[in-house]
Amino acid sequence: QAGYSVNLAGKNHSYLKREDFDFYAPYMHVGGGRKDRKTPEQQAFDEWLKDLDHHVAMEPTPFPLEMQLPYRVVSDAIECVDSRDERPFFLWLSFAEPHNPYQVPEPYFSMFPPESVPERAAGPEAAEAKGGSWLWLRRLIEEKRPGYDEHWRRYRANYCGMIRLIDDQIGRFVEHLEAKGLLEKTIILFMADHGDFAGDYGLQRKETELPECLVRVPLTIVGPGIKSQ
C-alpha cells in the first residue's frame, strides 16, 4: 500500500503465496528456485541433497559452490534487484541454512577442522538425564539415524562451514548493492529465527524447549528511496 514492490528470494516461512509477490523464488532445505529455470546440474544437486536425508556429509559436497542454495538464493536476489522497476523495493532474502542436511563444499568443508571445533555444552547423557522432550528427541533421532552422535565433531565443522558460506554470500549481495549505487539508499534488517543444537546434548536441529544455542539470523532488505524518520 506504501508503493513498494514485494519480493522473495529464499525460504517462504509464511502464509503468503506466489501471487502476493512481485518477484518469487522459493527455496526449501533440499532444493528449490524457479522450476522453469532450474538447470540439470541444479536438479542433480537437489536430488543429492534429498538422498542425504538430513544426515551429516562425511566428505566435501561433490558439487561446485554455485549449486549451493545460499548461492542460488543470492543470485535470484541480485536478479530481483537488477530487474526492478522504478518503485522502492522490499526484499525478503531468506536462507534455509544453516540447517540439516549438513553438507558443504570446499573450501568450507576443510575451513573448520573437526578437531578444532568448540566443545559442546553436554553430550547425550545430559538429554537422557533431563528426560521429557529432551529424552524424546534424543531417542527419536537415534532411531532414525543410529550412531549419528559419533560424528558430532564433523557435524559441527560442517555447520560452521555453512555459516561461513552464508556470510560470504551476504557479502556478495551487499557488494552488488554497492556496485549498483544502492547501498546508501538501502536499509538491511537482520531478524532472528532459530539455530541448531549442532551436537549439544547429543541432539540435532531444534524441537525441545529453547536453550541458548537455538538462535540464527535471516536477512531482510528494504530499498531504495527510504527517508529517515
Match 563444499 to its residue by C-alpha cell: 105
Beta-carbon contacts of residue 146 (< 8 Å; ≥ 6 apart): none
DSSP 164: H
pLDDT at 209: 66
Give the contacts of 31 (CB within 8 A, at least 6 positions apart): 42, 45, 46, 47, 49, 50, 69
- Grid coordinates representing 40 are 540439470
Q: What is the mean pLDDT of residues 184-208?
A: 84
- The count of other CB atoms within 10 Å of the CB of residue 222 is 17
Percentage of the chain exceeding pLDDT 70? 90
Other Cβ atoms less than 10 A from the Cβ of 94: the count is: 21
What is the pLDDT at residue 165? 97
- Of the pLDDT bands very low, low, confident and very high (cuts 50, 70, 90), residue 228 is very low
All 3 cell numbers of residue 166? 552464508
pLDDT: which is higher, 30 or 172: 172
More confident residue, 89 or 29: 89
pLDDT at 72: 96
Whether this prediction's pTM lies above 0.85 is answered by yes
Mean pLDDT of the chain: 89
Confidence band, pLDDT 50/70/90 cuts, at residue 229: very low
Grid cell for residue 119: 566443545
pLDDT at residue 219, rounded to an integer: 57
Q: Is it the case that residue 68 has pLDDT exceeding 70?
A: yes
Rg (CA), the chain: 19
Residue 3 has pLDDT above 60, yes or no: yes
